[in-house]
Structure 1
Amino acid sequence: MAVSNVSFASQVEEWVRDTEKRMIAVFRTSASMVIAEMQLTNKQGGLNRIDLGTHLASLQVGINTPPQKAIKKAKDTTDRSFNMGAVDAIIAGAEIGDTIVASYGMAYSLRLEYGFEGTDSLGRSYHQPPYAFVRTAAQRWPQIVEKATEMAKARSAARNG
């Protein structure tokens, strides 16, 4: 009888460890999916806008850190590419209870998200509609978590099946 109790206890411990791993995987995958959706441009079926690359490349991701202050002009405009792999590498360090912060580093990005009506500091007039690419992706969090959960279940079934 003692042997079966030990076996049962170890099975429960293994199940708990596996469940924790799946929870972390769903959390990380969901965060990555939200950020990827934020970055989708209108030409890719998303809400974001294509610019010269500075806005899209200015996306910054951190764990338990406040967003960095937006800048008006890119300091170095030679590399205007976005790297989702770098984002995923940061997210890979996140644990349950952490806050993953994704923000755009260009002040122009705020105009794209919220819109801008009026004259800027250089005297140019704008009627910029809001594109709400960040807010819309964030509002889809429940659906994205559901999709990430299904993906985790499928991976688990494939390993165990």
Structure 2
Amino acid sequence: MASFAATVGDWCLKVPIAVEIVFKEAAQELVSQLDQLLADEVYAKPQPPGYKRTGFLRASLMASTSAMPTLSRDNPGVAVPPDLGDVILVINGADLGDTLYLGYTASYAAVVAYGANGTRPRPWVAMAAQRWQMIVDQKATEIKARLGL
């Protein structure tokens, strides 16, 4: 498997920080697209009868450089505003070469993503993951132009 630097391209070797910039900006864009896809695929759709929308699933996105976040938190049943600040802090604090884990901690996230009990799947995570290479390519192009390379 090629290194992240090799995936980005040889041009980044001219500016050592370029690979790290691409990595962090691509990860931030992935988070942005995860959030938008969740909003589009889940929150913009009609609610099932009797369902109380709280925003908890959206707010449960976590980032880590040590382990994958687990599906371990129950919905508190009250409105929870989304805040990606902690996720962005983890991304910005990551070192090049770190594995970045992004995951939802709402205990029902898998049910929403894969469907269950007659509900259709809403695979926003898989959809965003499929965009990773495109996101990296786009960010590499943007940063290459920004740095004048």
TM-score range, shorter chain: 0.7 to 0.9
The 3-state SS of whatever aligns with 1:110 is helix
Report the TM-score, using the length of structure 2 for normalisation. 0.75
Do residues 23 (structure 1) and 19 (structure 2) align? yes
Unaligned 5+ runs, structure 2: 1-11, 45-52
Shift of 1:95: 1.6
Where in structure 2 are the equivalents of 1:150-161 lying within 5 Å? Answer: 150-157=141-148
How far is the alpha carbon of 1:48 from its aligned partner? Answer: 4.1
Per-residue Cα deviation, 1:18-75 (whole angstroms, up to 9, x for no partner): 63211001111111111111111576xx43435421110111111122323422333x
CA distance in 1, matches of 2:82, 2:146: 28
- Deviation of 1:114 after TM superposition, in Å, equals 0.9
Q: Specify the alignment match of 1:108 in structure 2.
A: 108
Write the letter of the residue equivalent to 1:26: V
- The separation in 1 between residues aligned to 2:109 and 2:98, in whole angstroms, is 25
| Structure 1: distance between partners of 2:103 and 2:35 | 11
Structure 1 or 2: larger strand share? 1
Q: What CA RMSD, in Å, does the superposition of the two structures yield over aligned residues?
A: 2.4
| Letter paired with 1:110 | A
1:7-156 correspondence to structure 2 within 5 Å: 16=13, 19-41=15-37, 46-49=40-43, 51-74=53-76, 77=78, 80-117=80-117, 127-156=118-147
% identity of equivalent residues: 25
Which structure ranks higher in relative contact order (CA pairs < 8 Å, sequence separation ≥ 6)?
A: 2
The 1:67–1:86 alpha-carbon spacing in structure 2 relative to 1, beyond 3 Å, is: closer
Higher radius of gyration, 1 or 2: 1
Query: How many residues matched?
Result: 130
